Amino acid sequence: MKLLGISGGVSQKTFVAIEKALDFAYQYDNSINIEVISIGELDIQFCDGRDPAKYEGDAKLIIDKIIAADALIFGTPMYRGSYTGLLKNVFDLIPNDALMGKPVGLIATGGSDHHYLALEHELKPLLGFFLAHAIPGSVYANNDHYSNR
């Protein structure tokens, strides 16, 4: 089984939260093939409406990895009450059936608790559009949940 974590921004805190979730999954079943990708480190083309198969480079890489995954965890920092433009672009790039029937978990990070509802009001409906199986519940971590240890 391939479990892919996608960090949808440049925030290290989001990346750490996804890594922790993937670590828990691996501890539960060490036969799981886990991978985490930070899309903030990639050079992904903007979606321009072409067939997803026509993209190249990092855009093709992320599309192919999402299609190949059996389950996914998407993580994003929240800015202005919403997920990042980087993550929105990835959702725009992937084929409509890329997440169909796949279990998908959600993680968000933010400076305060003001943005936690964006998971339920923005990202879960988006997963519904893709006919993904949104895992009940989600994880939201604010700055107080992290330490420098």
Q: What is the pTM of this model?
A: 0.93
> What does each C-alpha distance from 40 to 37, 97, 107, 132 come to in angstroms?
9, 24, 16, 24
Q: What is the pLDDT of residue 16?
A: 92
For the cut 80, the answer to whether the pLDDT of residue 11 exceeds it is no
Q: What is the pLDDT of residue 148?
A: 61
Cα 83 from chain centroid (whole Å): 10
Instruction: Name the pLDDT band for 119 (thresholds 50, 70, 90).
Output: confident
Q: Residue with structure tokens 């059996």?
A: 70
Between 113 and 64, the higher pLDDT residue: 64
Question: Rounded CA gap, 53 and 18, in Å?
Answer: 27
Q: What would be the CATH architecture of the domain defined by 12-144?
A: 3-Layer(aba) Sandwich (3.40)
Domain boundaries, the chain: 12-144
Q: How does pLDDT run across 86-107, given as a tens digit for each residue?
A: 999 999 999 999 999 999 999 9
Interval 41-60 mean pLDDT: 97
138: closest CA among 83, 65, 67? 83
